[in-house]
Each structure stands twice: as structure tokens, then as C-alpha cells.
């Protein structure tokens, strides 16, 4: 792989999305993504095509192993079930490689690391830590590790679960919940792109934990895991992996 290969990702993505039905069935690798994970995975409104760091990464890997990427958009909570049932071949999203998830899927070597972010209403300038929200109603995205950790603390009167970060941000802005939690880089990117969301990240907040983002594959395909890991290792060595993530401010 070469550094200029990143420029070919768009062409590979287009190929994966427009290839004829017989070729898709035979050659393409179906990649599960969610459109609520900006800047990791999202829908580019100008092209109506999947975009983001994990989309570019999957496209680059697919090119390297000779199997065009075909993207399947689904909710975050449905990604692993879709992989288990064979609906998709790979998950390339802002997903942490947790011990619990490793029981049902294989993860590649890590490609990015980050922790949770805490956000509140724009006019709320309090420098909250987790304990400061004791007894409050807070929100998190269903299916995320953050939701599980928040519920396990027993600190809150309720941890409401939502399908997307946009839903949580709306509820915080309207004052229906005190605070929201989400992937720190995703929250930061969305707020930067749309200052009118009415929320802001709490500066100085100490994340509950940091996790490693990795690509998920079926346990029934160990040979695919080897190929994808080899591709990731080469991209790390060449600097291409860092280039893909820096393109999206990560």
C-alpha cells in the first residue's frame, strides 16, 4: 500500500456501492456502519454516500485485500447481531473492542483510542465530574459501553437510553435530562459542525475509561482477521492510518 492510495478511497467506495448485483454477491465485502457516528461514520449530505474515518479505513482495507467494500447502514445496537447472522462481513465504526464483545466477535488490532465525553446545556458552565451528577437523570446511547458503565455506578436517578447522540443532545438542550454522555471525539465534532445544538462538552471532565476502537469480524472467519490485521499493520507503518484519521480531525 502507498500513501497516495488514500486518494483512491472515493473510487473504491463508489465501486462498492454501484457494482452490479452478481459481482456484489461474489466479490464484495459487506461492511456494517452507522450514520450517527460522525466523524467515524456518517452520511455525506452533499453526495448521499457513507463517509468518515472508519469508512475510508474499510475502503482502504477492502482495496488491499482485493474485495470491494459494500456499505450496509444500520443502527449501532444492530451491528453485532448483523455480523453474527451473516448479514454483514465486517463492522467498521467507532466501536470499542471490549471483553464482553470479544465473546461473540473477533476484533482486529486497535486503530484508534478515546474515552467518553460529558455534555450539558450551553449556558451551564459548571465543571462537572461524574459524582457531581448524583441523583440526576442523564442520557446515553443504547448499545454503548458508556451506557453500561453509567448504569453500573448507581449514581443516577435514571439513565435514559436513546438511539442516537442527536436525540440525547436535543433532550439536554430542552432540559429534559441534566447531561448526556457519548464518544468524546464524536460529540466534539458534531458540536463544532453545528454550534446551534445548544450543548457543550464539559472541559476537565475525567472519562470513566478509555477504549480501543477496532474493526469487528465474525469468529467464523479467522482467515479474514489475519488479512485485515496485516493490512492495518502496513497502514500503521506507512503512516496511512494516521493520515486517514487526521483527515477528520481525529
What does the pLDDT look like over 235-244, one tens digit per residue? Answer: 999 999 999 9
The residues with which 96 forms a beta bridge, in sequence order, are 213
Residue 19 pLDDT > 70: no
Residues 70 and 45 placed together within one structural domain of the fold = yes
Q: How many domains does the chain have?
A: 2
Residues 188 and 154 placed together within one structural domain of the fold = yes
What pLDDT, on the 0 to 100 scale, is given for residue 2?
A: 45
What pLDDT, on the 0 to 100 scale, is given for residue 232?
A: 98
Residue 62 pLDDT > 70: yes
Q: Which residue has 461524574 as its cell numbers?
A: 130
Q: Are β-strands 90-91 and 29-33 bridged in parallel, bridged antiparallel, or unpaired?
A: parallel
What pLDDT, on the 0 to 100 scale, is given for residue 14?
A: 42
196-212 average pLDDT score: 94
Residues 19 and 78 placed together within one structural domain of the fold = yes
What pLDDT, on the 0 to 100 scale, is given for residue 53?
A: 96
Residues 126 and 107 placed together within one structural domain of the fold = no
What pLDDT, on the 0 to 100 scale, is given for residue 13?
A: 46
Q: Which residues of 173-187 are buried (b: 16+ CB within 10 A; e: fewer)?
A: beeebbbbbbbbbbb
Q: What is the DSSP letter of 155?
A: -
Q: Do residues 56 and 6 touch, judged by C-beta distance below 8 A?
A: yes
Query: Nearest Cα to 182, choosing from 114, 240, 232?
Result: 114
Taking the model in full, what pTM does it have? 0.69
206-215 average pLDDT score: 94
Q: 20 or 124, which is more confident?
A: 124
Residue 9 pLDDT > 60: no
Residues 60 and 10 placed together within one structural domain of the fold = yes
22-39 average pLDDT score: 76
Residue 10 pLDDT > 60: no
Residues 54 and 165 placed together within one structural domain of the fold = no
Q: How confident is the model at residue 37 (pLDDT cuts 50, 70, 90)?
A: confident
Residue 91 pLDDT > 60: yes
Q: 17 or 195, which is more confident?
A: 195
Residue 31 pLDDT > 90: yes
Q: Which own/partner pairs from 164-169 qualify as long-range (CB within 8 Å, at least 24 positions apart)?
A: 164/36, 165/36, 165/141, 165/190, 166/36, 166/190, 167/139, 168/139, 168/140, 168/141, 169/119, 169/197, 169/198, 169/199
Residues 222 and 102 placed together within one structural domain of the fold = yes
Residues 204 and 220 placed together within one structural domain of the fold = no
Give the distance, in angstroms, between the CA of residue 163 and the centroid of all CA atoms in the same chain.
14
CATH number, domain containing residue 89: 3.40.190.10
The whole-angstrom separation of Cα 125 and Cα 166 is: 21
What pLDDT, on the 0 to 100 scale, is given for residue 36?
A: 81
Residues 99 and 52 placed together within one structural domain of the fold = yes
What is the span of the domain harbouring residue 54? 3-111+214-246
Residues 98 and 137 placed together within one structural domain of the fold = no
Residues 63 and 179 placed together within one structural domain of the fold = no
The whole-angstrom separation of Cα 185 and Cα 41 is: 12
What pLDDT, on the 0 to 100 scale, is given for residue 5?
A: 52
The whole-angstrom separation of Cα 2 and Cα 5 is: 5
Residues 101 and 135 placed together within one structural domain of the fold = no
Q: How confident is the model at residue 63 (pLDDT cuts 50, 70, 90)?
A: very high
The residues with which 31 forms a beta bridge, in sequence order, are 71, 90
The string of pLDDT tens digits covering residues 146-176 is: 899 999 999 999 999 999 899 999 999 999 9
Amino acid at each position: 500500500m502507498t500513501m497516495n492510495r488514500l486518494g483512491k478511497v472515493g473510487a473504491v467506495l463508489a465501486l462498492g456501492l454501484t457494482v452490479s448485483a452478481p459481482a456484489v454477491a461474489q466479490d464484495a465485502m459487506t461492511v456494517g456502519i452507522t450514520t450517527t457516528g460522525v466523524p467515524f461514520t456518517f452520511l455525506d449530505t452533499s453526495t448521499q454516500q457513507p463517509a468518515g474515518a472508519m469508512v475510508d479505513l474499510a475502503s482502504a482495507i477492502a482495496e488491499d485485500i482485493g474485495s470491494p467494500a459494500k456499505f450496509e447502514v444500520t443502527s449501532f445496537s444492530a451491528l453485532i447481531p448483523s455480523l453474527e447472522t451473516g448479514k454483514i462481513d465486517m463492522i467498521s465504526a467507532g466501536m470499542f473492542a471490549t471483553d464482553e464483545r470479544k465473546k461473540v466477535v473477533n476484533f482486529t488490532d486497535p486503530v484508534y483510542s478515546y474515552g467518553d465525553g460529558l455534555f450539558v446545556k450551553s449556558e451551564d458552565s459548571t465543571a462537572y465530574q461524574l459524582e457531581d451528577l448524583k441523583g440526576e437523570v442523564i442520557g446515553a446511547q443504547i448499545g454503548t459501553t458508556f451506557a453500561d458503565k453509567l448504569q453500573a455506578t448507581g449514581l443516577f436517578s435514571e439513565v435514559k437510553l436513546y438511539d442516537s447522540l442527536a436525540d440525547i443532545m436535543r433532550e439536554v438542550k430542552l432540559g429534559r435530562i441534566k447531561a448526556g454522555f457519548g464518544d468524546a471525539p464524536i460529540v466534539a465534532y458534531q458540536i463544532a459542525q453545528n454550534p446551534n445544538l445548544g450543548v457543550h462538552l464539559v472541559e476537565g471532565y475525567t472519562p470513566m475509561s478509555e477504549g480501543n476502537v477496532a474493526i469487528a469480524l465474525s469468529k467464523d472467519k479467522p482467515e479474514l482477521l489475519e488479512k485485515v490485521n496485516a493490512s492495518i499493520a502496513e497502514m500503521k507503518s506507512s503512516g496511512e492510518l494516521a493520515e486517514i484519521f487526521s483527515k477528520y480531525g481525529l
